[in-house]
Amino acid sequence: MSANTIISLPDQGTAGVPKKNYLTQENGLLSWLLTRDHKRIAILYLLTTGFFFVIGGMAAAIIRLELLTPTGDLVASDTYNKLFSIHGIIMVFFFLVPIAPAVLGNFLIPMMIGAKDVALPRINLLSWYLFTIGGCVELYMMIVGGVDTGWTFTTPLSTHYVNTNVIAAAMGIFIAGFSSILTGLNFIVTIHKMRAPGMTWFRLPLFIWSYYGTSIIFVLATPVIAITMVLIMLERVTGIGVFDPAKGGDPLLFQHLFWFYSHPAVYVMILPGMGIISEVISNFSRKRVFGYTAVAFSSVAIAVFSFFVWAHHMFIMGISTYSALVFSLFSMLVAIPSAIKVFNWSATLYKGSITFDTPMLYAFGFIGLFTIGGCTGVMLATLGVDIHVTETYFIVAHFHYVMVGGMVSAFMAGLHFWWPKMTGRMYPESLGRLAAVILFIGFNLTFFPQFILGYLGMPRRYHFYPPEFQVLNVFSTAGASILAIGYLLPVLYLIWSLKYGAIAGNNPWQATGLEWQTQSPPLTENFTVMPVMDHEAYDYEWLERQTLASQNLENQSQANQSQVRPKETEVPRAG
């Protein structure tokens, strides 16, 4: 085992989880609901997004069960439509968008840059409340009867033709949108103003670069979806004709507005994942990320380019052929930084010293699934091919490869990687590896058949389908049940590990990030003294010197220096 893993744990007999940490700082429900600690807010987000994931996942389970047969024999068409609408709305706006930024970003950004909290802690708590209120509005929407517009709210269907709870659904998204804007704002300010001494832009972990790109998208794109949702609500309530062709409105305008947010939002759902993967790959190959600058700038490039590709959702909708050309070209260009990242990650392994711990397995899964998702994305960006495959299961498979295969794998990699930091305890390693493999197999079995279905022409959002598509749908449903195990297993063993996991110690992975140079779980103020960044990111030689130095020091004085790096003891803590 020792050669297969880099886990280095303290002596389990004597070690314990530090008595004083952010979890034990205060007790009681109120101490959580009124907390301004970014780490506690991250935990709150983890619980709420986890809850919404369960709801979205159950909707998906019923959808897949229904699609076992070509006819609608489990639920009625209206119910089916509500199920995929709820699945889409919940998974996109209440799981994928907030999961990585709000959970891992909140927990890690201040710690990685050596700050004691985010720049605006109260705003951070407000974001969580807005998110939760938005989520509660969606829950209300589901309880009073649901919505059947799909998560895309296509007009004039959503404004004039359905009589389900469109207003509640739009209102929930509107409110939760402010949570995204404020979180993005908070991260931007934090990354600009709160970096520890010596933490220059090019010493930042790549995680921070990708979250910076994500935050830009949050701040610039989310207001547009808010406006769009307001227009939808206004048009439903007052009958103004912004999108209604009968009143001189333009239904295509809605598509422009919606995708102007929703395409950049797709990168919100993948950029943080790329940041996580950079950290994980680097750590488990003991190597600095190959071409740090290229990877850093590719994150920013993706964030910028993502604003100029939205109309590739509309190639068949009768936009002018010349604008289609421009948007196809930009869509090709946005694929370049993604390709650079994949190659750079692969090259990072070169001459490394690789171990295959759970986060690394998830990261490998990410690379494979994201590459497939990216290549099929290029197919969709190609004007001619898009005509045939858009609006079919091909596109369903494509975005699930990117968002679920990519993002959820990356999130799982991150969750396992930082779990010891968050809880002070290790998850069971062999079960973790098993779950990573199950997830990969289940995912491919679920979604690969959908590429074939899509090329055969099966349209998305079909309750009934021609019988010749059944075999592939059966494969897909079978895969989904394996995938479900891949999700359930980590939930179970992670909860188990809270009490029974091995004591992690400060730095079980021997990682270089500042977040690892303090106790696990960290103190509320993160560091006892303000850290000073005196080395590049991913400097594993520095880490070795540090370890040696602190061992020597320990041997000499027998003092417990475990949370304090000797060099920093003299630096006064800035208020």
Partner 1 sequence: MNHISPVIYQFLVKRLTDFRLFPPEASKIAPQMDALFFFILLVSLVGLTAVVLLVASFSILYNRQRHPVAVQVEGSTLLEATWTIIPLGLFLMMFVWGALIYFRVYTPPPNAMNIYVVGKQWMWKVEHSGGQHEINALHVPTGRAVQLTLISEDVFHSFSIPAFRVKREVIPGRYTTVWFEATTPGTYHLFCSQYCGTNHSQMTGDVLVMTPEDYRKWLAGSTSGASLAQNGERLFASLSCAACHNARPDARGPSLANVYGSRLTLANGQFITVDEAYLRQAILNPSQHVTQGYAPIMPTYQGQISEEGVIALVEFIKHLDSDYRIQQTLNTTDLPPGSEEKAAPAGQAPATQGRVKK
In the range 128-157, which residues lie near partner 1 by CB under 8 A? 148, 150, 152, 154-157
Binding status of residue 286 toward partner 1 by CB under 8 A:
yes
Number of shown-chain residues binding partner 1 (CB under 8 A):
97
Choose one: 119-127, 131-139, 319-327, 514-522; the region binding partner 1 (CB under 8 A). 319-327
Binding status of residue 256 toward partner 1 by CB under 8 A:
no
DSSP state of 306: G
CA distances from 324 to 319, 366, 367, 381, 566 (A): 7, 31, 30, 10, 59
Cα–chain-centroid distance for residue 416? 14
Q: Which of 511, 545, 540, 539 is CA-nearest to residue 198? A: 539
Map residues 3-42 to x or -, x wherever contact with partner 1 holds by CB under 8 A. Answer: xx-x------------------------------------
φ, ψ of residue 526 in degrees (nearest 5): 70, -60
C-alpha–C-alpha distance, residues 467 and 445, integer Å: 20
The angle at the Cα of 405, spanning 256 to 482, to the nearest 5 degrees, equals 130
Choose one: 265-273, 302-310, 372-380, 480-488; the region binding partner 1 (CB under 8 A). 372-380
CB atoms within 10 A of CB 360: 25
C-alpha–C-alpha distance, residues 234 and 240, integer Å: 7
Residues 6+ apart with CB under 8 A from 322: none
Q: Could you say which residues in the range 44-103 bind partner 1, by CB under 8 A?
A: 72, 77-78, 81
Which position among 36, 236, 256, 460 is part of the footprint of partner 1 (CB under 8 A)? 460
**Residue ranges in 67-161 assigned as alpha helix (H):** 77-91, 97-98, 106-112, 121-143
C-alpha–C-alpha distance, residues 4 and 571, integer Å: 38
Q: Could you say which residues in the range 406-435 bind partner 1, by CB under 8 A?
A: none
Whichever of 121 and 352 has its CB closer to partner 1, that residue is 352
CB atoms within 10 A of CB 474: 14
Whichever of 443 and 540 has its CB closer to partner 1, that residue is 540
Binding status of residue 510 toward partner 1 by CB under 8 A:
no
Tell me how far, at minimum, the Cβ of 112 lies from partner 1, in Å: 21
Which position among 123, 379, 489, 549 is part of the footprint of partner 1 (CB under 8 A)? 379
Choose one: 30-38, 40-48, 421-429, 461-469; the region binding partner 1 (CB under 8 A). 461-469
φ, ψ of residue 318 in degrees (nearest 5): 85, 25
Q: Could you say which residues in the range 324-353 bind partner 1, by CB under 8 A?
A: 324-325, 328-329, 332-333, 335-336, 339-340, 342-344, 346-347, 349-353
Q: Could you say which residues in the range 231-250 bind partner 1, by CB under 8 A?
A: 245-246, 248
Whichever of 292 and 527 has its CB closer to partner 1, that residue is 292
Which position among 143, 230, 237, 316 is part of the footprint of partner 1 (CB under 8 A)? 316
Which position among 471, 498, 553, 571 is part of the footprint of partner 1 (CB under 8 A)? 471
Considering only CA atoms, give the Rg of the chain.
Answer: 24
Tell me how far, at minimum, the Cβ of 385 lies from partner 1, in Å: 5
DSSP state of 117: S
Residues 6+ apart with CB under 8 A from 27: none
Choose one: 30-38, 313-321, 421-429, 516-524; the region binding partner 1 (CB under 8 A). 313-321
Which position among 356, 430, 552, 553 is part of the footprint of partner 1 (CB under 8 A)? 356
